[in-house]
Structures are given as C-alpha cells and as structure tokens.
Homo-oligomer: A and B are copies of this chain.
Amino acid sequence: LEKETDMGFGYSGKILRINLTDRSTQIEEPEEVFYRKYLGGEGFVAHTLLKEVGPGVDPLGPENVLIFAAGMLTGAPVGGSGRQSVGARSPLTGGFGESEAGGFWGAELKQAGFDAIIILGASEKPVYLWINRGSVEIRDASGLVGKTTAKVQQLIREELGDKRIRVAQVGPAGERLVRYACVIFDVNRAAGRTGMGAVMGSKNLKAIAVRGVQRVALAHAEIVRESAKWLSENLEGLVGRRKAYGTAGCLLPQQYTNSLPTYNFQAGEFAGAEKISGERMAETILVDRDNCYACPIYCKRVVEVDDEIKVDRAYGGPEFETIGAFGSMCGVSDLKAISKANELCNAYGLDTISTGVTISFAMECFEKGILTLADTGGIELRFGNAAASLEMIQQINDRTGLGKLLGEGSYRAAQVIGKGSEEFVMHVKGQEIPQQEPRAHHGLGLGYAVSPTGADHVHNIYDQSYTDADLPKMKSVAALGILEPLPYNTLNPAKVRLFRFEVNWMHMVNCIGLCIFLPYDYDRVRDILHGITGWNVTIWELMHVGERVLNLARMFNARQGLGIDKDILPRRFSDPLKSKTVPLEGIAQQELQQGVETYYAMMGWDPVTGAPLRSKLQELDIEWAA
C-alpha cells in the first residue's frame, strides 16, 4: 500500500509471542487490515482469546493465554494515549477477562517496537521478561518473589541499569492466585478487573520490563498536534475539575444524588462523604498530581501520610473507585485509612474495587451475624472499622484467616458462607460491582448485567439519563441520533438503543487505548485516529469495530458456558433506594429482563443462548468466530 492512501500509510507493527513453557519467542507481523479491524487493546485480546483459548481451559493453568496489548493511540503525543489492556480467561468470572490501565508502560512497549505480547504456557520457575529495543529476554525472577511492587520495580531497574525502564508486574497477591489480583503498571496503575494478576501469577511471570526509544509513527502529525494543542489550550474549561480533584471529584456529586454506594449498596448517601471527597483530599493529604503518557490533565493523585498511619507516596493516591469501595461501602470516613488501603492494594497487586467490595460484603455478613468473631479470628468486622478493613487486606494478600476465603472473591465466598449471604453478595458473573449506582441510571444496571466481563465500569457508561432540561448532556448523544429525553428509571427501547450505541463506542475506545476521561467528541477521536494511522475511518466504521470486539467477547463467553442466566443483577437493586431528597426507584426484575431481551434483539443475539447469531458475525466481518 502506498503512503497516505485512504487504506492507510502502510501501517505495520509487531506482536511478540512468548511461550513460557519452552521459552520460545516468535514475532508476528499482521497485515494492516488486521490492525484496522481490531485496533489493538481489547480488540487484540478478544481476537486472541477466541482463537486460542478453548472451552474449559483452566484460567489458572498453563493453557490460558495472557495478552498485553497497546492500542492504535497508545504512545501518540496527545492526551489520553497512555493506556494498555491485559486479557485472559478470567479466574473470577470464568469468561472474557480484560482490563485496562493507564501510565507509561504501553507507550514504552510501542517505543520498544511491539504492539502486543501474547504469553503462552507457564514457567517452572519465577521469571520476568526484559523487552529492550526490539529484543526480548526471559530472566530469572527468584529474587523478586513475594516482594511488593515498588521494591520489585526498583530491583529490576537496578539489575538492568536503566532508571527509565517501565514495569508491568504481578504483586504477591497475584503470585498467590488471589482471584482478583491485578496487574500493576508503574507501581500505581492497575489493570484491576477480572483477575489478570492471578493469571500472570499462575504463569510464574513476575514482571515485564520494557524500554524503547523508537517514536510512535504518525501519518499526519499535524492533525494529532492540533488536538493536543486544543486540549491544553482549553484544559481548565474542559477538565478543570478533574485536574483539581481527580476522579474523586465525582464523589460529592454522587452523594448529592443518592448514588454513592454505601454499606454494600444498602444506601446511596454516606454521612462521612464530605470527609472522603476529592475536595477534602486536595486540602489535606494531597502532595502532588501525576499524569499518564502525554496527558496534560494530571488527574492522578499523589498523597503522603506520616501519622499513626503512614502512606508511601510512591503508590500514588486513591481513585474514586477506591474511595468508594474502602470508604462509603465499608462505612469508613477516614481518608488516611483509605489511602493506606490504596497503598496496600497497589503494593500487593490487588484490585481495589473487588477487595473493598468483598470486605464490605464480609462486613454486612458480620453485622447480620452470618460471620462471627470466630470466623474473623476476633476482628470486629463492622462497617466503619478502618483498622479491620486494613487487616483484611493483609489477610487476603497473605491468604490467611478469613482472608483466604475472601481472596476467592465475594461470590465464591458467599457460596461457602451461605446462610442467606448469597442474597446480598454484590457481583455480576462473579465480579464485584464498582461504585456506580445502577438505580440512579437503570441503563447502567443493564450494562452491569450484560457486560462480558461481569460488573465493570470501563465496559459501560455511567449516565444515560436525559431530561428535557439536559440539553448540554444531550448534545453529545444527539450526534448518534438520540434526539429525545430519556429518564433515568427506564429500560425502554430508546434507552436500550442509546446504551447499545454508547457501549459499542466504549469497546472501540478500549481497543484504541484511549482514556475514557478525555473530553473528545466522536469526531475528534476519529480525527486523532486518522492522524495517527492515515486511515480515512468514519464513526460508522469505528462503531462497528467496537461492536465486533464486544461480539467476540460474547462469543468467548458462550463457548465457556456463560449463558443468559448470567446476565442478571443482584436482587438488591430491585429495592428502591430511600432518601429524603432524591429517592430512587429500584430496577424491577421484569424491567431488567425486558431490557435484556430488547438488547439481545437489537444486538442480533440469540434470545435463548444470548450468543451472537451468524448474521451478526457476518455483518461484523467475523464469521470465523462462529
């Protein structure tokens, strides 16, 4: 292909394939059309999993395949391009496992000459990978075992003699196969969901160190630069609040709308909310702000505490999800304790959402007398007991005491604990629910129910409610043809339609490796991608890539036996959420079921199996997946 034609400018890239069992490596160079069809990130993950991981493969066995993938945007000199995906069959859900993280590792990987790494087999002894300017080495990691993430990063950099090395790693929790262990990048960014750290740990792969110097190629650099310029010139107006308070800035808005998950989703308002807000953090323990590759927003927090509780700034600061999970969900209003929980999770490689929500679940069990002091080893595991929460994190990481069971995830724990706890364990498909309240946005409830990864905040959309007064909010979706108001408390066909469009887009965003917090509209995303690749893509094509990848994930789940009986919500969400000022209606089981059926029909999915019909696979040019 010629340079700068509409079909591209001859994009070519490399995918590294490593078999840890026989220590072989292989470099693949897919055709450009492969890149355009799957775009990277979640797209590469879905493609690889469906092609290479058969039904019934043990998620924690050597037959599982672990994928690290950058996207087409990753490493481009424009805000939002600092993301990468990790994927495998999930030990938490048994289905499609995939999670994204920000930072610098993915950009470094591309600068080292690779778009993705596919890891097969398992090493007999602990190893780490050293990917250095196009070369790859499998190195001994016995000296890194059991160490916390910051220490491991330091040791690797010292061993290899380069401070600029970027490290992806599994913490001790992943080594010990905690089912919601995560992959940690740069010590303080987590590909948190679906237990990718446990898969990495099961392969005896402690870390992947990368270093590259080759700039990411741009077809039309000036187009990319224009968006970078636009963002930095309009930063305050567009994302000033996120810059000032990070993701934690959304805590108080949720509190004021009765949608801050509290006490294991028993309430939407938390008395201690103001004490754990992003605003309060900025006034107290915040010492710095941090960014991802090429991003001018600096939404990442850096906190430091030197009190009774000590918090190491190397691990950053808590995101909103972490504050919700360890704060309002556990009834804890001590920001320092929450920051400590964040530090521990990052140091051990634990997903803060699943860890916090699992502890919140255990607290409700304790308060209801289902778990006793005998079960907890004497810990008063009550809502509000911050010290107990920190102790449970330690036990989960150490796989000791009650933590051993909780490290299997709240869903499996509830099966063991029984006594009615199965009724209030807050999960979908075995994955704990993030800190976005579906009763405030019924479409979000549908999203949790049908997401291929189980309850997930990055494969979903937060707000799908538009009243007549919401013209500014409606503007963004008008571009998709959503032209009429949609109240929060419906799953009518119009809502499902919006949901379908936005979720398709969201999956595309997870393919290109774009951060969801960037204030780019559809056209700008298209322009940036065009600038990078030279491809004359349309929103139409991009929407179909998202839908393609979602359908691959769905096919993967069908093959692993996840049927429509798994597309459900915990019963609790059918209860209304009381409030003096903002009472919210529950999502009735029948409403949800109707919404799910409408969604299947619109998606071209079999109403009996929930799997994509052949005609849908044909339309999406993935008939090979049938």
Chain A residues proximal to chain B, CB less than 8 Å = 1-2, 5-7, 33, 36-37, 471, 474-476, 478-481, 483-484, 493-494, 496-497, 500-501, 521-523, 535-541, 543-545, 598, 601-602, 604, 613-616, 618-619, 621, 623
- How close is A543's CB to chain B, nearest CB, in angstroms? 5
> 4 smallest A-B Cβ distances: which pairs?
A601-B615, A493-B618, A6-B475, A481-B541
Which of B483, B537, B539 contacts A7 (CB under 8 A)? B483
Taken together as a complex, chains A and B put the C-alpha atoms of A476 and B478 apart, in Å, by 26
- How close is A38's CB to chain B, nearest CB, in angstroms? 11
Between-chain CB contacts (< 8 Å), 26 pairs? A1-B471, A2-B471, A6-B479, A7-B475, A7-B478, A33-B483, A479-B537, A479-B541, A480-B540, A481-B537, A481-B540, A481-B621, A483-B621, A493-B619, A493-B623, A497-B618, A497-B619, A497-B621, A521-B536, A538-B539, A539-B539, A540-B540, A601-B614, A601-B618, A602-B616, A602-B619
Taken together as a complex, chains A and B put the C-alpha atoms of A537 and B474 apart, in Å, by 13
Contact A539 B536 (CB under 8 A): no
Chain B hits for A536, CB < 8 A: 475, 478-479, 521
Given A471-B5, A497-B621, A618-B496, residue A483 in contact with residue B36 (CB < 8 A): yes
Chain B hits for A623, CB < 8 A: 493
Please name the residue on chain B nearest to A500 by beta carbon: B619
Given A522-B538, A618-B496, residue A544 in contact with residue B481 (CB < 8 A): yes
Q: Is the interface of A mostly helix, strand, loop or mixed?
A: helix
Contact A484 B538 (CB under 8 A): no
- How close is A52's CB to chain B, nearest CB, in angstroms? 23
Please name the residue on chain B nearest to A545 by beta carbon: B481
Name, among A7, A480, A619, the residue most crowded by chain B CB atoms within 10 Å (CB to CB): A619
Chain B hits for A478, CB < 8 A: 6-7, 535-536
Chain B hits for A545, CB < 8 A: 481
Taken together as a complex, chains A and B put the C-alpha atoms of A539 and B480 apart, in Å, by 8
Chain B hits for A494, CB < 8 A: 618, 621
Which of B1, B33, B480, B615 contacts A484 (CB under 8 A)? B33
Which of B36, B476, B539, B618 contacts A540 (CB under 8 A)? B539
Taken together as a complex, chains A and B put the C-alpha atoms of A616 and B521 apart, in Å, by 27
Taken together as a complex, chains A and B put the C-alpha atoms of A345 and B36 apart, in Å, by 50
Taken together as a complex, chains A and B put the C-alpha atoms of A269 and B135 apart, in Å, by 60
Chain B hits for A1, CB < 8 A: 471
Chain B hits for A522, CB < 8 A: 538, 540
Taken together as a complex, chains A and B put the C-alpha atoms of A536 and B480 apart, in Å, by 9
Chain B hits for A523, CB < 8 A: 538
Taken together as a complex, chains A and B put the C-alpha atoms of A541 and B540 apart, in Å, by 9
Which of B474, B538, B598 contacts A480 (CB under 8 A)? B538
- How close is A47's CB to chain B, nearest CB, in angstroms? 15
Chain B hits for A535, CB < 8 A: 478
Chain B hits for A37, CB < 8 A: 481, 483
Which of B5, B501, B544, B615 contacts A475 (CB under 8 A)? B5
Chain B hits for A481, CB < 8 A: 36-37, 537, 540-541, 544-545, 621
Chain B hits for A621, CB < 8 A: 481, 483, 494, 497
Taken together as a complex, chains A and B put the C-alpha atoms of A2 and B7 apart, in Å, by 40
Chain B hits for A483, CB < 8 A: 7, 33, 36-37, 621
Taken together as a complex, chains A and B put the C-alpha atoms of A535 and B37 apart, in Å, by 29
Chain B hits for A501, CB < 8 A: 540
Starting from the known contacts A7-B471, A602-B619, 5 additional A-B residue pairs (CB-CB under 8 Å) come to A6-B476, A7-B474, A497-B619, A497-B621, A601-B613
Please name the residue on chain B nearest to A505 by beta carbon: B540
Taken together as a complex, chains A and B put the C-alpha atoms of A273 and B621 apart, in Å, by 40
Chain B hits for A601, CB < 8 A: 604, 613-615, 618
